[in-house]
Chains A and B, each alone.
Chain A
């Protein structure tokens, strides 16, 4: 099926990050349409009707989340854009921020208007120096042209947008840690409830949305909910950016409607990198999501299909692993990341992440004992569900799924006193 790119339509065009180029290709028409044809409340309904689900990881319907804001409170409401993108294997927001910032900005303005927010924050990952610069420039252009500030496009709506750079902690992508960080504190996730929609930034009702989610709001503003809902599959609507990495020939960001078969995405990325090494496994949604062995990879890439397959679309950071990949080594790598990034606040995650690393290191080095495999799984089960924030699951799920799907390989590391693949490579 022919598919016209929507989110990446401007990518590769000259000066794609400038306001002029964006407007020349029809940019900010959607915002104008929304101001003219909708009330904020109606636009919230429109976003609900589009079926747009959050692109940050959890896939929560955006319009529904906006609807959670308490009514009639005389306090400010905030919109925080989550541009912290730090999930390993995920690099889609960065592309939009650097190459088409106004697509995101237009969605931010429309969304802020819809939820009655007059100060919005763009929380960007510390390492995104270039993105922060480009986005700041886009904001300045927008102020100069009356797209931000007072009385935007004559609508009477005021909005200030502030770029806030994080310090490079993965956990600050978790929405409540993000709020703490924005408030100038250490990025420690908060206990929920209360949810940010009720008690968020500076104690005020706050909506946190992912960059790509808000870029999709621009599309809905341009062409409406019905058009948007027709893309993809029921309850899994709209276009999606997939980050394909690992053992494919052309790793990169690929746009496709939600629900594209995984195998097709791998083909879009040029197929497997080495013809002699077949597919072994895929992690479909960033390092926190459960791994699918090759036999389970005939799935559609959308929220519900992947949930049915026992994993999750997550951030759509898809890593493809070929037969040369050692699963113990891969999991060790993943766990090193989580051990390093655990905020250290709550007991199971703080202690469990480091323990995983120690066990996996032993297994990979040949110092494993038979109980280790069971131990990994059991420790993960004591982390999962018992932590303050979903980081606990983000580390427990990979551990549990790698062990479950590749138990023999883990066991072999014990019986053969080390990594069989590494041993073979050394020969």
Chain B
């Protein structure tokens, strides 16, 4: 009988060629069988293995058969070698997996109906795919606390835990905060914290993500939505200059959670807790859904868009007419590249030459992701010609507002009153204050005319992170009320001043920006994809 095994492909000097379920694969030396299988398009089921963590080899779900090796081996820790013949679906492997599934479930409470993980739980997925469907276990299960408050934002259900130690390894290796450990032994082994040291680090939410089961849950998301209803919209976090890649878990026009999306060049598999909760501002901050005007009386009143733009333009025209020195703009580096590009062009058209981009800094750059720079698009502001964030320039403008030298101010996405940079009364005195923002900030309330913008998650646009990577944020939500993207508002505001450009979409704005800015040359939404792209020369 001829040998039915396919021939091995040639391998380079740093490579090995092997067969996995008769599929030939070539991988770098040192690659594990599990990853080699992945490269061959085969899934070796696994719980404890996580690409961002060290190998623990404890769940034993990835057992596979290797020709000429008597015992089953774990794919996650076994290095692929030249000529190796691996089989991932033999009767022996199947029996072993079925055994592991049974073992994992004998002490599991099977409380999927009340578990947040249901729908994205490895136990559910693998039991369906590899389990026997029934259990021979008839005795009393081991019982543990089910709502154990393990830290600031995380709840632990010890009965659901499969002791894969991913969460421990995350805290040891990634956050380096080392709060978690395995305590006790045998089937009484349990994950826990040390006395007086709860799970509380700036990255604790990642333990919930790495937990393959429903043992660790994120307090703000507990019982909020069934995961199968959520639509994951790929985006980038706007919490700081890192721009971690994320998914916005959306249901019924609401973001219910933000989770990290793997990008090895930006955030690997992680994100910080502050970023993870940043979407909450969308519902917690008061919005304004229609333009507001504050004529003679003190209270702002909603007015139609046409009228609001007209009034705002009139205010600015008057101020500009009184002397170019008497008008200024304060612009936010939290806006998208598209917003900033149109803002830059609009300011020129209106005749506002004095512009400052506001910095927002807090804490320090840390060892992992968090940046001191809390603006997600400082590089974008510089790129479009608005300049880098500059506290001195903001301060000068505001001093001139207080002294009366500046009589007209356009504030885009910033809140100098709320940030404590200027007393509300000084801004209220200003003859021409036009504010554009997504929420009803104190500055918005002080403005002569305030124009409502879309919030994060509602707009579509691009952010350039501190390393010079342009990344897309996709719109996950319908804009609230009559809110509009900033670039559209600015284009409308500048139109009476002769600004002629019309854009059909954010993508069109980006294309125009890319055509004029060498660092963006050749880029488009399509080329940015979901992982973003580095600026030319970055």
Chain A interface (Cβ < 8 Å from any Cβ of B): 169, 171, 186, 188, 191, 339-348, 350-355, 358-359, 362, 369, 371, 375, 379, 382-383, 385-388
Q: How far is the CA of A347 from the CA of B123 in the complex (A)?
A: 13
Known: A186-B182, A348-B60, A351-B104. A382 touches B187 (CB 8 A): no
Decide if A350 touches B163 in the complex (CB within 8 Å): yes
Decide if A385 touches B72 in the complex (CB within 8 Å): yes
Kindly identify which residue among B139, B163, B182 contacts A358, using a CB–CB cutoff of 8 Å: B139
Known: A385-B71, A388-B58. A339 touches B187 (CB 8 A): yes
Decide if A362 touches B100 in the complex (CB within 8 Å): no
Q: How far is the CA of A354 from the CA of B189 in the complex (A)?
A: 11
Known: A344-B163, A358-B139. A352 touches B58 (CB 8 A): no
Decide if A351 touches B72 in the complex (CB within 8 Å): no
Q: How far is the CA of A383 from the CA of B102 in the complex (A)?
A: 11
Q: How far is the CA of A355 from the CA of B100 in the complex (A)?
A: 13
Inter-chain contacts of B468 with A (CB < 8 A): none
**10 tightest CB-CB pairs across the interface, nearest first?**
A344-B189, A382-B99, A354-B187, A351-B103, A358-B139, A342-B186, A191-B57, A344-B185, A346-B58, A385-B71
Beyond A344-B185, A351-B104, A382-B102, 9 additional contacts (C-beta under 8 Å) are A191-B77, A344-B188, A344-B189, A352-B103, A354-B187, A355-B139, A358-B140, A359-B139, A386-B96
Kindly identify which residue among B136, B162, B185 contacts A371, using a CB–CB cutoff of 8 Å: B136
Q: How far is the CA of A344 from the CA of B103 in the complex (A)?
A: 12
Inter-chain contacts of A362 with B (CB < 8 A): 139
Q: List 14 A-B contacts (CB under 8 A).
A: A344-B185, A346-B58, A347-B59, A347-B61, A347-B104, A347-B163, A350-B163, A350-B189, A351-B106, A351-B107, A354-B188, A358-B139, A386-B63, A387-B60
Decide if A354 touches B185 in the complex (CB within 8 Å): no
For window 54-81 of chain B, which residues contact chain A by CB distance below 8 Å?
A: 55, 57-61, 63, 71-72, 74, 77
Which residue of the partner chain A has the closest CB to B103? A351
For window 116-144 of chain B, which residues contact chain A by CB distance below 8 Å?
A: 136-140, 142
Which residue of the partner chain A has the closest CB to B104? A347
B46 → A minimal CB distance (Å): 12
Inter-chain contacts of B181 with A (CB < 8 A): 186
Taking the complex as formed, is B253 at the interface, i.e. its CB lies under 8 A from any CB of chain A? no
Known: A344-B186, A388-B57. A354 touches B142 (CB 8 A): yes
Inter-chain contacts of B95 with A (CB < 8 A): 382
Inter-chain contacts of A341 with B (CB < 8 A): 185-186
Decide if B77 touches A351 in the complex (CB within 8 Å): no
Q: How far is the CA of A350 from the CA of B136 in the complex (A)?
A: 17
Taking the complex as formed, is B184 at the interface, i.e. its CB lies under 8 A from any CB of chain A? yes
Decide if A353 touches B186 in the complex (CB within 8 Å): yes
Q: How far is the CA of A340 from the CA of B156 in the complex (A)?
A: 24
Inter-chain contacts of B163 with A (CB < 8 A): 344-345, 347, 350
Decide if A347 touches B58 in the complex (CB within 8 Å): yes
A227 → B minimal CB distance (Å): 37
Which residue of the partner chain B has the closest CB to A188? B182
Inter-chain contacts of B107 with A (CB < 8 A): 351, 354
Q: How far is the CA of A325 from the CA of B245 in the complex (A)?
A: 65
For window 81-110 of chain B, which residues contact chain A by CB distance below 8 Å?
A: 95-96, 99-100, 102-104, 106-107
Which residue of the partner chain A has the closest CB to B79? A193
A108 → B minimal CB distance (Å): 30
Inter-chain contacts of A353 with B (CB < 8 A): 186-187
Kindly identify which residue among B100, B138, B182 contacts A348, using a CB–CB cutoff of 8 Å: B100
Decide if B59 touches A346 in the complex (CB within 8 Å): yes
Q: How far is the CA of A80 from the CA of B63 in the complex (A)?
A: 31
Inter-chain contacts of A386 with B (CB < 8 A): 60, 63, 72, 96, 99-100
Q: How far is the CA of A188 from the CA of B54 in the complex (A)?
A: 15
Which residue of the partner chain B has the closest CB to A185? B181
A352 → B minimal CB distance (Å): 6
Decide if A347 touches B186 in the complex (CB within 8 Å): no
Known: A350-B163, A382-B96. A345 touches B58 (CB 8 A): yes
Inter-chain contacts of A348 with B (CB < 8 A): 60, 99-100, 103
Q: How far is the CA of A51 from the CA of B74 in the complex (A)?
A: 33
Decide if B142 touches A355 in the complex (CB within 8 Å): no
Q: How far is the CA of A425 from the CA of B59 in the complex (A)?
A: 44
Decide if A347 touches B139 in the complex (CB within 8 Å): no
Q: How far is the CA of A385 from the CA of B93 in the complex (A)?
A: 12
Interface centre among B58, B59, B61, B96 (most CB of A within 10 A): B58
Q: How far is the CA of A358 from the CA of B107 in the complex (A)?
A: 12
Inter-chain contacts of B55 with A (CB < 8 A): 191
A192 → B minimal CB distance (Å): 9
Q: How far is the CA of A186 from the CA of B102 in the complex (A)?
A: 27
Decide if A355 touches B106 in the complex (CB within 8 Å): yes
Inter-chain contacts of B142 with A (CB < 8 A): 354
Decide if B186 touches A191 in the complex (CB within 8 Å): no
Inter-chain contacts of B100 with A (CB < 8 A): 347-348, 382, 386
Decide if B136 touches A375 in the complex (CB within 8 Å): yes
A279 → B minimal CB distance (Å): 33
Q: How far is the CA of A305 from the CA of B297 in the complex (A)?
A: 104
Known: A355-B137, A375-B136, A386-B63. A342 touches B185 (CB 8 A): yes
Which residue of the partner chain B has the closest CB to A349? B186
Kindly identify which residue among A350, A358, A371 contacts B186, using a CB–CB cutoff of 8 Å: A350
Q: How far is the CA of A222 from the CA of B95 in the complex (A)?
A: 53
Interface centre among A169, A346, A369 (most CB of B within 10 A): A346
Which residue of the partner chain A has the closest CB to B70? A385
Q: How far is the CA of A341 from the CA of B184 in the complex (A)?
A: 10
Q: How far is the CA of A336 from the CA of B144 in the complex (A)?
A: 20
Q: How far is the CA of A191 from the CA of B72 in the complex (A)?
A: 14
Which residue of the partner chain B has the closest CB to A340? B186
A356 → B minimal CB distance (Å): 11
Interface centre among B72, B106, B163, B187 (most CB of A within 10 A): B187
Kindly identify which residue among A188, A339, A369, A382 contacts B103, using a CB–CB cutoff of 8 Å: A382
Decide if B77 touches A347 in the complex (CB within 8 Å): no
Known: A354-B142, A355-B137, A386-B100. A347 touches B60 (CB 8 A): yes
Q: How far is the CA of A385 from the CA of B100 in the complex (A)?
A: 12
Q: How far is the CA of A186 from the CA of B106 in the complex (A)?
A: 25
Which residue of the partner chain B has the closest CB to A353? B186
Q: How far is the CA of A352 from the CA of B136 in the complex (A)?
A: 12
B44 → A minimal CB distance (Å): 15
Kindly identify which residue among B77, B106, B182 contacts A344, using a CB–CB cutoff of 8 Å: B182
Q: How far is the CA of A386 from the CA of B99 in the complex (A)?
A: 10
Inter-chain contacts of B138 with A (CB < 8 A): 369
Q: How far is the CA of A371 from the CA of B136 in the complex (A)?
A: 9
Inter-chain contacts of B72 with A (CB < 8 A): 385-386
Known: A186-B181, A375-B136, A388-B58. A350 touches B187 (CB 8 A): yes
Inter-chain contacts of A191 with B (CB < 8 A): 55, 57, 74, 77
Decide if A339 touches B186 in the complex (CB within 8 Å): yes
Which residue of the partner chain B has the closest CB to A388? B57
B93 → A minimal CB distance (Å): 11
Inter-chain contacts of B187 with A (CB < 8 A): 339, 342, 344, 350-351, 353-355
For window 174-194 of chain B, which residues contact chain A by CB distance below 8 Å?
A: 181-182, 184-189
Decide if B59 touches A344 in the complex (CB within 8 Å): no
Inter-chain contacts of A369 with B (CB < 8 A): 138
Q: How far is the CA of A351 from the CA of B96 in the complex (A)?
A: 14
Inter-chain contacts of A358 with B (CB < 8 A): 139-140
Inter-chain contacts of B140 with A (CB < 8 A): 358
Decide if B99 touches A340 in the complex (CB within 8 Å): no
B421 → A minimal CB distance (Å): 52
Q: How far is the CA of A344 from the CA of B185 in the complex (A)?
A: 5
Q: How far is the CA of A382 from the CA of B101 in the complex (A)?
A: 11
Which residue of the partner chain A has the closest CB to B74? A191
Which residue of the partner chain A has the closest CB to B140? A358
Q: How far is the CA of A271 from the CA of B257 in the complex (A)?
A: 73
Inter-chain contacts of A186 with B (CB < 8 A): 181-182
Interface centre among A171, A354, A369, A388 (most CB of B within 10 A): A354
Which residue of the partner chain B has the closest CB to A186? B182
Which residue of the partner chain A has the closest CB to B165? A345
Inter-chain contacts of A344 with B (CB < 8 A): 163, 182, 184-189
